[in-house]
Structure 1
Amino acid sequence: MSEERARRKAPRHPEQVSEMRGLAIDGVGALLATLVMAAGFAATAGPGTLARIAVVGSLVGVGLGLVWARRSSLLWLPVGTVLLAVVVGPLAVGLLPSPDALIGATRGVVTSWKDLLTTTPPVDGDPHALYAVYYTVVLSALATTLASARFGRSAAAAGCALVGLGAAVWLGSFEVVMPAAVGVTLLVVLLAWSAVRARFGLTGRAGTAVTVTRRVRPVRALAGVGMVAVAAATAVAVAPLAVGTQDRALLRDRVEPPLDVRQFVSPLVGYRNYRGPLRSAELFTVDHRPADGKVRLAALEKYDGVVFGSAGGRSGDSGVYERLSRARARGGAWADLPRGPEERITLTVGDHTGVWTPGIATVEQVTPVTDSGGDGDRTLPLATLYANPASGTLVTTTGLEPGMAYEVSGRSGVNPSDGEVADAPVADIVLPPAENVPEVVAARASEVVGDEPTPLGRARALESYLRSAGFYSSGQSGEVRSRAGHSADRIDVLLDSEQMIGDEEQYAVAMALMARSVGLPARVVVGFDVPSPDGDGQISVTGDMASVWVEIPFSDVGWMVFAPTPERDKVPQQLAPEPKTSPQPKSIQPPPPPQETVELVSASSPGGADEQLDRWAWLWAFLLDVLILLGRALLLGLLLALAPAAIVLVKMRRTRSRRDAADPRERVAGGWDDLVDTFVDLGAARRDGATRREVADRVAEAYPDLAVRALAGGADAGAFAPGDLADEQAAGYWEEIDRVRSEVRDTHPAVAWWRSRVSLRSLISEDRVRSLRSGGRGLLGRVIGRIRGPRRAHDREWIR
């Protein structure tokens, strides 16, 4: 055997045991420290969600750290960490693995931090923000494990855990859940971990192993406990004095969250006011009429069965509202749609109030114009102006006031003819799905559309049906009764009544929902129809000019306008009222006893459940969830260990059956076979029809110091010698087998020996392995032959 092989086969059992023990200590210590660190996100997520994220993230980070602690290079560590973290990420945040979940986890590596910092805690149930918590836990566990297991520095490992806790606090919220308990627990874990590492000499280059005599151990233990107690008491007493009454400085204070317009009432809700009190009021004035003749308030995309409103939140392009200085149209179908001609109009606010700011289809720039009185307070504040380029909607968070004037630059909407649209397909625009839509919407839309093949034909069919079959009434004085609103019940009444009666609000919502049911991405737009001016002066826009229409996007055309509302002079016929029966008077029942008023406290409002959080109940729930998840992980590990354990048991049963054979000759032959199986599992022998002496020669090349040839001769003598073989001779032969096997075990590291114990090489005969290999090649050849056969026949036919 060469010197290199001799060096590799040299006994390293004590070193291997020490290394495995060190990895186990570092792994357990890093796992406990990371679990305690994750409690810093207590106010960010609920106990169940945080426990799942903490356990999964800690196991992933610690596992990666232990694997890479034994690698000679860390080149692939970032790639491996990102891949494994992304694959396991959906499970950590409570999602089932799927392509969409993996894509979300991949995006979360970059975007989840912004989602966490711009979402009001708690973020329990929002995977977009929970990915940031999960990745923080993974990185903290990985850094802590590498610092201890690879570089052997306890101080660095403790620093990584403390940095992780600081990151959890910095990324968290103003709400704090038992900070003293979390800090003291982490301190105790780190000190105990450092003491255990020093006890077993795992301090590495960062320190020196300390020899602790049996007599000094109790004194040092008591001293350590006393130091921890003093440090904890000092921290609890001094921390409030050091911090004082100042607010905590968090990273979310430095990050400006995107505007969520769902907090504002949809402009479609109060639409009837334009037909009532504001009918003749001058809402605002414009210096000229836009090319498409429309000034819009908002484009609405989301329907929940009650209100048609803006998508808000992070629902694609149509839901993102940013400051006008930073607002930009995203790439893709939204930005690629054609727009109308360039516009520059000046608007002066009159009686129009609220946050929804009049504008044009595409707003690129807004310039405040100081009013004629020079009052600076009436200038439109750009700091509170937000825009969504995809929907062409402006929002002023502080609201509009009379006298504010501003100039809007951008583009108006398109106004194509049906001939220009022709057979154009709808654009690839994704809108939020409509919820709680009445069944009559899809049924009536299917009847109206019929077999119309083109998208424009289906849209025009729906528009024509509503305009021709419906009647107009806004429920004002002197008009037929018409209920306001556009909830699911109101739309159901509109489409399922003998006479359709409503105004722009109901007809536009009905057409948008019907269009979506037949595959057309329709949205509802609230705005004003600006008349042509009589001269060159300002155009006054009143409430009577308010309108609601439907827009559908077509490829290479843009958002096309549809007006499904009947003419205002098309009033419904008066229906004879049904006679009412006078019910017989009933006995008057006594009024019910007064009930106590139960005050409901919102969990997210000030003074609510957040401030009344039972800290100990939260802590016990978190600990219980952590224990349950750790138990499941342990159970999974035990199930995964059943297969190796089954292999070891099968081999032990095989050895016992050979040792307990009735015939001494069979026991001797079985002993040799059992020893050969040991070498086969170690990769040092092959049977392949060789004799015992040939196998012994192969083994002796790798193990020259073992008496393998003598054992092979003894097996041959026991098999072919005349006469009977005594039981004592067979027992002695097995004793030699056990002695040689013990020497082989001492020659190999513990990991290599146990790897051979769970190997399947000796359990599967080499004839079977060769047949499987040849069968696999034969099957592959037959598959390739079937693929190439028709091609070769075609070539021969072409040659002929």
Structure 2
Amino acid sequence: MSALRVGWSVAILAIGAVQLARGWAGIVAVAVFLAAIVITYGLVFTGRKLGFGAGYTVLIVLSLAVAGAYFAAGSVVSPTDPTEKLSVLDTLTGTVPRLLSMARPAPATAMLLIPGVLLVIVVSLVAAMSLRGRALLAPAGGAAVLYTAAALLTAGQADRTGLVAVVLVALTGLGWLIIDRPRTGRRYLVLPAMLLVVLAGLTTIATILPAANAFDPRRLVKPPVTELSVASPLPKLTSWAAASGAELFRVRGPEVPLRLVTLSDYNGASWRAASLYGPIGAVAPPDLPDGGQTSSSDIEITVEKLTGSWMPTAGRPSATNAEAAVVDPDSGSMVLPAGLAEGMRYRLTSTLDTPDDESLRAATVPSGPAARRYLSLPGLPSALAEYARRTVANSRTPFERAIAIEEVVRADRRPSADAPAGSSYTRLESFLFGTGSVGANAGTAEQFASAFAVLARAAGLPSRVVVGFRPVQAGPDGTAVVRGSDATAWPEVYFDKWGWVAFDPMAGDAAGPSSAARRDVLNRLAAMPPAPPPSAVPGAVPSPRQPTAAAPVAPKNERSYLLLLGLVPVVMVLVLGMMRAGRRSRLRRAGATGAWVYVLDALLLAGRSPARHVTAPDVARGLAEPDAVRLAELADRAAFAPGPPLGGADAWRLAVKVRSGVRREVPWYRKLFWALDPRPLWRR
């Protein structure tokens, strides 16, 4: 076995492993996968030097791989119970589903790296075991397996231009040509022909497969969902305001509003957070799609005095190094089931909707069943319904309705840290209409945001409430200190194609649309209606009509993609099988010479191909089959005697017996590709 063969096989496997590592964040996966290739090759060659059989070597390598997974699983805990460690069986059987339900790229943690490491070890083991003979199909096939796994794991993003595929094909072709082929001038013509065929096949597949909405196997995996009952932090705004100087956490990154929790469900008495959470990057899409114009934000959070399970985020989290964090896919609220601890630090990448004012002016709001959750107002009092109707009476578009509600909630009402907490209908009526002696026309950010959201829903605008923190200016070291006084709440309205847009009825201009957009809308609108007292409100006004249910959209059929991917190897196997069958038929018709070539093909597949200068009888005497000598003599007479081919059926019967004897002596891994190995097709 030459160093060139070993180096070539390791090189093409390394290319496939580096591609596979694109499915994980950072360079840890690259180092681990390359180390797995080197260690596997080292174990195989050490086993051969010590005289171990192939079966023992395979058993040792696989046992060590499972043992490594065991120790990796020993440090993995349950996402719902930090005191409970996952079993080895649960870790191994659930590695792929867990990986496919993580963010893309996935965090390079021990549990998530297990499926990639095991795949690299198995592929490297097969490739290293096959290098004892002359077959080079296993390393090339292993690199193709790693490359395909990378394409599936990244939904085709690992090699967008196809450059890596071309390099891999070229390196494979050079290896087949230089290492395993006789070095005659005419043989080098095989390489261009082979590359043209492969590139033509890749071009055909690239033309057939869709360029957009590429197949993603994550859609076939139902992500693990955790049911959590976490209290809403909305009532804590008052206590945070009382301890205004307390340092809750520090943030390094762009100056953007930070979210703590998004509250989407309202029952007439309070706002509630979602109860079902899954891994970040889970396939399940939100009930209302993201906006079409977004920006990305990378921040680093260091927890100080902030307690509870809610984790500050910026927008919709897409990746984090906090392994146990789970997220609500509809709102982006992120939870750490074990709770926050002082000194904890985590990094977070998020996506924010950034629509422009001109687009919002003509934007519409959804009317399908997905928006019903954000329009629900059970038991809405007629006073609030009538107040919402009069507020938006002169508005022409949903955006104008939102601006009008923002202005009317802000007008003639004052922020007060001492105002009573609560967001029930009774509390909001006192806040808006001035009824009662406590909290009349005064409130905290909770009342301002809740009043906006309730009136917006009554006016047909999908809305929700967000508890978070105002943007804080960073210090000289680039770190901003978020204190209790920075805690606040704001409402959001969903617009078709543009996502969730924040409004600020408390300040009027600190968040949401720009001041210019608000001024233009308010200049067009008529004067805001005065707040009617409850006694002046006419009889019960029905709640706004619920939007009619839109026809459900049929899910995309993924079977065609799977069928297409499955047909490619099937077609290749059929073509190779037909070509090998055609060669066998031609050799059988050629008499004794063809029968002897049939035996030489078997020796090639077994890695025992004789040198060209050795005569047929000498080759036959080196075989353990007694019929081989007789067949060689028939082949010699047929080759050098004039006339038609000699030997006929008797020679072919001998060839079949000799070939069967040769095949019995080859290792099992060579028998796997015995009928499909293309190398006999290249022999003249």
TM-score scaled by length of structure 2: 0.39
Q: Which has the higher helix share?
A: 1
Higher gyration radius (CA): 1
